[in-house]
Amino acid sequence: MKKLEIGNFHVKDVVFGNETSYKDGLLIINKEEAMDYILEDEHITSLDLKIAKPGEDIRIVPVKEAVEPRIRPDGRALFPGVIGDLAPTGEGIVHALKGISVLGVGKHYGSFGDGVVDMGGKGQKYTLFGQLINVVLIADTDEEEERFEQQKKNHAIRWAAHKLAEYIGRAVKDLEPEDKDIYEFEGVTKRDEKTNNLPSVVLVMQPQSQMEMMGYNDLIYGWDMNHYVPSFINPNEILDGALISGSFMPSSSKWSTYEMQNFETIKELYSRHGKEINFLGVILSNLNVSLEQKERSAIFVANIAKSLGADGAIVTEEGYGNPDVDYIRCIVALEDVGVKTVGISNECTGRDGKSQPLVVLNEKANALVSTGNVSDLIELPACEIVYGELAALGRDGLSGGWEGDEKLGPSVREDGSIILENNAMFCGDGISGWSVKTVKEF
């Protein structure tokens, strides 16, 4: 049995001070020390740290990554194979600071996968991160070769966010957690009779892995998932830092690393394990470009699920468009081997809501959960403070933003107000399972 113990520290406020420490809900960060640590990376050419709290009139853009601050008391890296040596994940103890995130933000240049977070006003509701206290890492880099590219790897800023999350986590390394979440994963053949008699369910996750050039895709233990084939893994590994976000998918539909650390669908399945269902674990799949690759992965997934004895499956994709083909093909393949399957994804139905919601549909995909339309138009008033650079939304090809439109004008208006598609709201679709959206029938 693998047992993962996440010790929680519930942060109520964050301030800068003389030492990085935590006590009674107050997190103090030594800003100078934290910045010196990040600036050890010579590719970071300018840096600032800010704190953004829910309800403040702050707009943050271009947001590239979000990470929950954590630390492993035994000294293992928070993200093995990424910011430290390779080591197993999914068991042992990790300490987590809850209610806050580290946001990696560009100072001047955005890209297709970057997004917007509003901390207050009408825009706050569009993303989970408007509800959290955010330590905002605003940086520029010397990655000149991609500065004016729409698609960026954003390596230096993303890695800086991972490092800062671990640095902040040191504040609670030797403290006693306020409460604990314990995830015990038994081998699928070692479970008691009661559990084995419950309907068995597997979760199929399809992280972003379409780019054949390395550096854009999600990573598993530091390994680019374009090289990955579907495999059965312990869900604890996902919750424990084995998987990190990439820099490719349109912003509203991406899974940030924060979401992978807190993958709500996994948590929900665990909460019902042994009571309503027998949670078999995760089949970690991939998203491909060629039809042959898509078909191969669907075969892998269906065969693994059938071999595990799954009665049901949940399939969830990161992104939309081309990945819809992998998503629907996987659902159909599972149904074909007798595994009843539910899908979770967003839709791209156009600004008028009248287009086909997914690129491909099939009558066997008859139980789909929608997390909303990426093309919904959103208009938001100006915010008093901007962290990053507002112009990036219109100038730099962020998904959901534009420089000019015949009818709508520019995304960024002279008065600081903005108009954008939901596409640009950072991780706003909540495909990992946290979405607060509801469906209304008209």
One DSSP character per residue, 385-396 reads EEEE-TTHHHHS
Count of positions (residues) in the chain: 442
Which sign does the torsion angle of CA 385, 388, 389, 390 carry? negative
CA nearest to 371, candidates 442, 441, 435, 440 = 435
How far apart CA 14 and CA 406 sit, in angstroms, is 44
In tens, the pLDDT along 192-209 reads 999 999 999 999 999 999
Residue pair 135/102 in contact by the 8 Å Cβ criterion: yes
Which residues, given as ranges, of the chain have pLDDT below 70?
442
Cis peptide leading into 62, omega within 30 of 0? yes
d(CA 433, CA 110): 27
Closest by Cα among 256, 291, 287, 300 to 103? 256
Sign of CA dihedral 100, 104, 108, 114: negative
- For residue 37, the number of C-alpha atoms closer than 13 Å in the C-beta half-sphere is 20
Residues 6+ away with beta carbon under 8 Å from 111: 62, 64, 146, 149, 150, 151, 152, 154, 247, 396, 397, 398
Put residue 321 in one of left, alpha, beta given phi > 0 → left and psi -120 to 50 → alpha.
left
Cα–Cα distance for residue pair 238/261, rounded to 1 Å: 6
pLDDT at res. 439 = 73
Q: What is the DSSP string of 341-410?
A: EEEEEEE---TTS-S-SSSS--TT---EEEEEETT-EEEE---SEEEE-TTHHHHS--TT--S--TTT--
- Where does 275-321 have alpha helices with state H? 291-308
For the record, the structure tokens of 177 come out as 């957690």
Q: Given its phi and psi angles, is residue 416 left (phi above 0), alpha (psi -120 to 50 degrees) or beta?
A: left
Which residue has 């300018």 as its token pair?
A: 46
pLDDT at 34: 98
d(CA 35, CA 140): 13
CA dist., res. 223 & res. 214, Å (int): 10
Exposed e or buried b per residue across 265-285, where buried means at least 16 C-beta atoms within 10 angstroms of its C-beta: bbbebbeebbeebbbbbbbbb
In Å, how far from its chain's centre is CA 236?
Answer: 16
Tokens read off for 410 = 């520019």
pLDDT of residue 245: 98
Q: At what angle do helices 291-308 and 322-336 cross, to 10 degrees?
A: 40
Q: Which two tokens stand for residue 210?
A: 């379409």
pLDDT (0 to 100) of residue 442: 66
> What's the pLDDT score for residue 376?
94
Reference 360, options 332, 341, 340; nearest CA is 332
H-helix or E-strand spanning residue 279: strand 278-284
Q: Note the pLDDT of residue 72.
A: 97
Region class of 144: left (phi > 0), else alpha (psi between -120 and 50), else beta: alpha
